[in-house]
């Protein structure tokens, strides 16, 4: 195994080809490793086989070249696992209906690996989860095969740190944390990631690596919750919260800027810390900061709806039930098409429930489909903007023509502090 990794002959299997799995697969391909991607979503498999990408961070040209050279294969079956040297699990870890961790995807992948497990293989879990998952869930399942960890096979946890849409920090430049079940597992995991990434940081255990990932996102959810609550206070006091944050940021020590918005979305910040609070409760510990921050952030879409209703009444003398509202940006963050847990969806639903006629524009999301509404992105034009009573900026995309919006919209609710001179006009309402 050690020699095959150094010579880049080790066969790598990636289970789950989403926002984490596909970029990781391409990172191994670029360094010369043969990679097979496994996903139960047939549309993803068909696109990869056709040499097409479905993610912003991976170009179609890259996928096409990898497939043509025989470096990247894609399949919906688990059969290639038996011939792989390194198996990396990158499947979703959502919450269930009662907001408890849902490890069903991890369990299914682990059971499939167990059924194909061979002596000498390295298995790595990257899916974000609570501390103890690798040791308490994945390990017993794999050892049910009769093989022993640290002797017959190797097991690590290495948290994903993908930041979709971030050009400054692509996957290769983000340090990787690795924690194994045994010291040999850790060293082997470090060797694998050192082959494709610039920096790898080993820790003493898989539990520590699991905790590190949740610590990162808990830090963010708590601070975002704090600034979102302060934004509401600042608004009541007639203070521009963005200016206050900029002023505080001039302090060269003891402060890190976080910015308010209409809520939080995506998997990392909105879901991952709940895994930690769930695990803590099992041990009789309540993490009050996480629960409070989660509640504050979850209330932000409702706050935006309330401010929109108030602004329509106060400025336009118009009821929300008779208003036409355009939402700009429905992805949870700029420059991506990912709408998972996006606060914009809650804002749309809240306004529609009050009788408003709501539409949206997003250069990355041509269509929205869920159990509450089905909409298509509208084109931005002078005529369309003039028909709207209110435009709500929910995601600050660089591809959105904000000059056109500022010039022709009747009233704008800027929840993202768009850095455009025209947004300083009196018709702009701030968060």
Q: Which residue has the tokens 């660089």?
A: 398
Calculate the CA dihedral of residues 427, 332, 288, 258 and round it to 10 degrees. Answer: -60
Contacts of 402 by beta carbon, 8 Å cutoff, 6+ apart: 418, 420, 422, 423
Whether 67 and 49 have beta carbons less than 8 Å apart is answered as yes
135 and 181 in contact (C-beta within 8 Å)?
yes
Distance, C-alpha 114 to centroid of its chain = 28
Own/partner long-range contacts of 406-413 (Cβ < 8 Å, ≥24 apart): 407/382, 408/382, 409/326, 409/385, 410/316, 410/386, 411/311, 411/312, 411/315, 411/316, 413/304, 413/307, 413/308, 413/311
Q: Is 8 exposed, middle or buried (0-12, 13-18, 19+ CB in 10 A)?
A: middle
Q: Which of 257, 259, 261 is nearest to 248 (CA)?
A: 257
Give Cβ neighbours of residue 189 (< 8 Å, ≥ 6 apart). 122, 124, 154, 156, 158, 178, 179, 180, 202
Give how far the C-alpha of residue 264 lies from the chain's centroid of Cα atoms, to the nearest Å.
10
Report how far residue 185's alpha carbon sits from residue 193's, in angstroms, rounded to the nearest whole number.
13
User: Catalytic site residue 268?
Assistant: yes
* Euclidean distance between the first and the last CA atom of the chain, given in angstroms as a whole number: 55
Report which DSSP code applies to 74.
Answer: E
DSSP 114-160: HHH--TT-EEEE-S---TTHIIIIIHHHHHTTS--BTTTBEEEE---
Rg (CA), the chain: 24
What are the beta bridge partners of residue 393? 328, 414
Catalytic residue among 90, 156, 185, 268: 268
Cα 65–67–71 angle (5° rounding)? 95
Q: Which residue do the tokens 């995601």 mark?
A: 395
> Per this entry, what is the length of the chain?
431
State the catalytic residues. Answer: 268
């Amino acid at each position: 195994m050690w020699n095959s990794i150094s010579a880049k002959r080790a066969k790598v299997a990636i289970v789950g080809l989403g926002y984490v799995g596909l970029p990781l697969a391409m990172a191994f391909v670029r360094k010369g490793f043969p990679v097979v991607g496994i996903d139960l979503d047939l549309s993803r498999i068909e696109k990869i086989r056709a040499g097409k990408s479905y993610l912003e961070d991976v170009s179609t040209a890259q996928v096409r070249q990898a497939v043509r050279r025989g470096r990247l294969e894609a399949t919906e079956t688990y059969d290639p696992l038996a011939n792989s040297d390194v198996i990396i699990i990158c499947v979703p870890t959502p919450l269930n209906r009662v907001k408890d961790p849902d490890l069903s995807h991890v369990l299914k992948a682990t059971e499939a690996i167990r059924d194909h497990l061979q002596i000498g293989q390295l298995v790595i879990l990257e899916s974000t989860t609570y501390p103890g998952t690798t040791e308490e869930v994945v390990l017993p399942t794999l050892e049910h095969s009769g093989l022993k960890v640290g002797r017959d096979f190797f097991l690590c946890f290495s948290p994903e740190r993908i930041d979709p849409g971030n050009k400054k920090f692509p996957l290769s430049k983000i340090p990787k944390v690795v924690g194994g079940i045994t010291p040999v597992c850790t060293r082997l995991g470090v060797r694998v990631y050192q082959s494709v990434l610039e920096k790898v940081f080993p820790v003493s255990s898989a539990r520590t690596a699991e905790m590190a990932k949740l610590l990162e996102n808990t830090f963010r959810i708590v601070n975002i919750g704090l600034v979102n609550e302060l934004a509401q206070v600042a608004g009541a006091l007639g203070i521009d919260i963005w200016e206050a944050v900029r002023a505080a940021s001039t302090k060269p020590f003891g402060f890190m800027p976080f910015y308010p918005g209409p809520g939080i979305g995506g998997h990392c910040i909105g879901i991952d810390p709940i895994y930690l609070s769930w695990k803590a409760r099992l041990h009789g510990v309540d993490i009050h900061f996480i629960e409070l921050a989660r509640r504050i952030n979850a209330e932000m879409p409702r706050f935006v709806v309330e401010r929109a209703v108030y602004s329509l009444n106060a400025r336009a003398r118009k009821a929300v039930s008779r208003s036409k509202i355009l939402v700009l940006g429905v992805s949870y963050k700029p420059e991506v098409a990912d709408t998972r847990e996006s606060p914009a969806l809650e804002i749309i639903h809240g306004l529609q429930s009050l009788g408003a006629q709501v539409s949206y524009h997003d250069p990355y999301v041509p269509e929205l489909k869920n159990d509450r509404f089905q909409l298509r992105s509208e084109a931005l034009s002078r005529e369309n903007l003039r028909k709207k009573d209110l435009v709500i900026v929910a995601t600050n995309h660089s591809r959105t023509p904000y000059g056109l919006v500022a010039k022709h919209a009747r009233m704008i609710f800027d929840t993202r502090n768009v850095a455009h001179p025209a947004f300083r006009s009196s018709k702009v309402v701030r968060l």
